[in-house]
Amino acid sequence: FELHQFEDLFSQKLDKYTSWRKYIEEEKEAQVELLDTIREANQAFLMARSNHPLLQQREKALSNLETAIKRFRDASFNLHDGARFYATLEAELQKLKEGCLDFAMARHLDALDLMGVGHGEIPSDILQFPEQHSASPVQQQQRQHPPNLVWDPSMPLKYATPK
C-alpha cells in the first residue's frame, strides 16, 4: 500500500467539508463586519453621552454632594471639638471663681482681724461674701423694703432668678 493510492479517497472525503469551509469563512466576514458596526455605534453612543447636559448636571450634583458631605463632617467635628473646649473652659473658670471667692473671703477675714473685730463678734451678715456688701443703694433699699405688688416706674425691673 502506498499513500498515492488513497489520494482519490481522501479528496472525496475532504470535498464533503468544502461547503462548511465556505460557510465558516462567510460567517467570519459577517462577524468582523458586525463587530465593526458595534464599535462604531458604541463610539457614537459615548460621544452623545459625554455631551449630554443631563450627564453634566449629574456630575455637578455629585460633586456638590461630595462637597456638602465634607463640609458637614468638618462642621460636625468642629462643633464637637468646640463643645469639649467650652466644657473644659467652664470647669476651669468654675475653679478660678471658687479660688477667687476663697481668696476674697480670706482677705475679708484678714481685714476684720486687722480692724480688731473678733470672730465671735462678727455679725452673720458680714460673714457673707464681700460682693454682697458692695450692693448698690437700690439693691439695699429693695432688701430693706418688701417689694410692692404695683409697678413703680422709678424702680428698675427685677426679674426672678432661676434657683
Mean pLDDT over 104-122 rounds to 80
3-class DSSP state for residue 98? helix
Please report which confidence band the pLDDT of residue 148 belongs to, taking 50, 70 and 90 as the band edges: very low
Quick check: pTM over 0.75? no
pLDDT at residue 124 tops 60: no
For residue range 43-83, list pLDDT tens digits in order. 998 888 777 788 888 889 999 999 999 999 999 999 999 99
pLDDT of the residue at 141: 52
Q: How many CB atoms lie within 10 A of CB 117?
A: 14
- Smallest CA-to-CA distance from 146 within 135, 134, 158, 130 is with 158
Euclidean distance between CA atoms 36 and 28, whole angstroms: 12
Binned at pLDDT 50, 70 and 90, residue 151 comes out as low
> Quick one: residue 95, left, alpha or beta (phi over 0 = left, psi -120 to 50 = alpha)?
alpha
